[in-house]
Amino acid sequence: MFKNGNSTVKSIFTPFNVITGIIVLFGLVLTVVRFTGGLAAVSNLSDYNPWGIWIGLDLLTGVALAAGGFVASAAVYIFGMKKYHAAVRPAILTAFLGYALVVVALSYDVGIPWRLPYPFIIQQGTTSVLFEVGICVCLYLIVLFLEFSPAALEWLGMKKIRSLVHRLTVVLTIFGVILSTLHQSSLGALFLIAPSKLHPLWYSSYLPVYFFITAIIAGLSMVLFEGALCHHLFADKLDEAHKQEKDQIALGFGKAASWVLAGYFATKVVGISADNNWHYLLTGYGLWYLTELLGFVGLPCLFYAIGVRERRLTLIRWTAGWTVMGIILNRLNICIIAFNWHLPASERYFPHWMEIGISVFLITCGLIVFKYVVSRMPVLYSHPDYKETH
């Protein structure tokens, strides 16, 4: 009896549970401070710097890294690449949680969060890029919920509803691709109104194109990165089909990522040439720009190609993690580091430690939900009652 009790205690007080528990408790305290004391109590945001880490990391980066949902589903259900089917449900789950956390993060960033629905029902700002982004994100979150619902319905044993939703798979996938294309590019278009604030090396009329291409890169890399983590941390949940498909998913998505990175590198060079910004490369910001371009675009492009050609799966998966870091760096450069670059250091934005704490709290909540769902629902394996429909 004692051994069973001791085993139960050990299963509860795992390192993951203890660390995430502390973060969640601390995050809840910061949340109370934020919504009782206002933005000034927890952030360094100002009129000069209205967008900080909650937008740069939680929104811009979160939306980009959640692009694996439309990339994986499009590959399987539109282009007919059924051999990558094992990647779809983990990607859809990550995308759904990512977009849900984006909405939650916005409630922290907006001064009066309960007015978030106003543009849709009271004052329709249909000529605003933000309105388009908002309505696309809202609709895509619904699409992602419906796309992932078959896994939950299989878990709950609701066969009739699951069958109905499953018939909508292709329609939902097409709708998701359209919505993703619109809002991923529109997030870049938001910065077109700030040519005097964003450094010329990052500012370009091609920003909407850059954001869409990098979203595809992020989606491909996140599928590989999360796949590597899931196969390591949830190996007991995988069935034989998923185990057999993991290598071809790595090779196929790695090859695609290499080609897209090469195309993105070329468009960036074209952008510098079109705007004649070569002279900025010799400045401090220029060196930082080259670090991003060469270190997080050119280098992973090369490593992906080598990994696919030589079938070095470990190299592909490590490159995926490096590329994800590059996407994060790109979004933070545009939103924070290279934004208001002309201001003196004393007036530049640097996130308050509470802002960072709230971001860590939100990401941790996403990890907890992901772990809970993957541990219980048929995400990394096919439900035995529905294998013929997968």
For position 54, what pLDDT does the model report? 92
For position 242, what pLDDT does the model report? 77
Three-state secondary structure call for residue 342: coil
Q: What tens digit of pLDDT does each residue of 149-183 get?
A: 999 999 998 889 999 998 999 999 999 999 999 99
In a domain, 5, yes or no: no
Q: How far apart are CA 167 and CA 72, in angstroms?
A: 18
In a domain, 384, yes or no: no
Q: How far apart are CA 227 and CA 87, in angstroms?
A: 7
Q: Is 342 exposed, middle or buried (0-12, 13-18, 19+ CB in 10 A)?
A: exposed
Q: What tens digit of pLDDT does each residue of 135-155 get?
A: 899 999 999 999 999 999 999
Q: Which amino acid is at 125?
A: G
In a domain, 144, yes or no: yes
Q: What tens digit of pLDDT does each residue of 252-275 get?
A: 999 999 999 999 999 999 999 999
Angle at 381 between CA 231 and CA 323, to 5 degrees: 40
> Average pLDDT, stretch 24-51?
91
In a domain, 89, yes or no: yes
Q: Look over the chain and give the mean of its residue pLDDT values, rounded to a whole number.
A: 90
For position 389, what pLDDT does the model report? 59
Q: Say if residue 251's pLDDT is above 60.
A: yes
Q: How far apart are CA 102 and CA 136, in angstroms?
A: 13
Closest CA to 386 of 224, 229, 241: 241
Rg of the chain taking only CA atoms, in angstroms:
22
What is the three-state SS of 29-85?
Answer: HHHHHHHHHCHHHHCCCCCCCCCCHHHHHHHHHHHHHCCHHHHHHHHHHHCCCHHHH
Residue ranges of alpha helices (H) inside the chain are 2-12, 15-37, 39-42, 53, 62-65, 68-73, 88-109, 118-121, 129-156, 159-166, 169-189, 207-233, 240-275, 284-293, 299-309, 313-332, 353-376
> Average pLDDT, stretch 61-80?
93
Number of domains observed in the structure of the chain: 1
Give 339's strand partners.
198
In a domain, 383, yes or no: no
Q: How far apart are CA 31 and CA 85, in angstroms?
A: 39
Tokens of 12: 């509860």
Give 69's strand partners.
none
- Can you say whether residue 157 is alpha, beta or left, with left for phi > 0 and alpha for psi between -120 and 50 degrees? left
Whether the CA torsion 149, 154, 158, 163 is positive or negative: it is positive
In a domain, 353, yes or no: yes
Q: Say if residue 385's pLDDT is above 60.
A: yes
In a domain, 390, yes or no: no
Q: Which residue range is the domain that position 201 belongs to?
A: 17-377
For position 2, what pLDDT does the model report? 41
The CATH number of residue 210's host domain is 1.20.1630.10
For position 6, what pLDDT does the model report? 58
In a domain, 27, yes or no: yes
Count of CB atoms situated within 10 Å of the CB of 130? 13
Give 198's strand partners.
339
